[in-house]
Amino acid sequence: MIRITILGIKGGVGKSTFALLLSRELSKYKNVILLDRDLLGYSSRIAGIESDGLLSSIINEEKDTKDYYKEITRDDHKLGILKLIAPIGSWEKNENLLEKDKKVEEKFANEYKRIISSDYDILIVDNPPLITPSFFFIKEELTLFSSVFSTSKIMGIFVSDFSNVSITSTMRYATEALKFTNFRLIPYYFIINMVPPGIDLDLKDLEEKIKKMGFQYLLQINFIDELVNFSGKIDDLPDLKQIYEISTNILKLTT
């Protein structure tokens, strides 16, 4: 299995929309599961998952998997969406229970491993801003994943908006994130997202900088009106040539 970890320094840069677009495109060719551990739960909401996620379901002893997991059949392949955590407000309480209650930890581990082991080829993770493996839940999830897929490549995609401050801060965050050996991140794509018309970025200079950091690709994705506040279904999302390009490169990693 290939794991794609999508990271950024702040909300509002289109990270979750990017995760959905990439998951949908890749699921045309492979079985893909999207892990939604962003506190806003946008990816899950678009998939029709309205609950507080897997961890809350276990704590509250809810037994219906549709409360946190959905499978969408796509021709010969499938797209799974697994919502892991509750939104802001319930999150810290639930994380404390996961850390301290061994029964909750065991049930969470068993269900998590059961789902991600269900014949998936690619796992994509949508994260909250500025996460590191020092967060207990992040470390726990990555440990569980590694216990099932110990040799999987973990490719890091960092998403920024077009402002110089955001790009610089995201590069700084990437530098720090790549120092965590238990993160196991391989720098892959640096995405400048939601670039408005008329903005001229010096991509040549930036590409030299991110290549020195170990990234393989730099990509600009322009602002798209129909993605702003998108609230339709996954299959209503537009096709983007840049997402197809990224998917093509990821698929090469699976061969």
Distance between CA 79 and CA 23 in Å, rounded?
7
**Does 96 score more than 90 pLDDT?**
no
pLDDT of residue 89: 61
Distance between CA 255 and CA 23 in Å, rounded?
18
- The tens digit of pLDDT for each residue in 109-134 reads 999 999 999 999 999 999 999 998 88
- The tens digit of pLDDT for each residue in 195-237 reads 999 898 989 999 999 999 999 999 999 999 889 888 888 989 9
Phi, psi of 179, rounded to the nearest 5 degrees: -80, -20
Q: Where are the domains of the chain?
A: 2-253
* Burial class of residue 113, CB neighbours in 10 A (0-12, 13-18, 19+): middle
- The tens digit of pLDDT for each residue in 161-171 reads 999 999 999 99
The CATH homologous superfamily for domain 2-253 is P-loop containing nucleotide triphosphate hydrolases (3.40.50.300)
**Does 63 score more than 90 pLDDT?**
no
Distance between CA 34 and CA 43 in Å, rounded?
8
**Cβ(194)–Cβ(17) under 8 Å?**
no
Predicted structure pTM score = 0.95
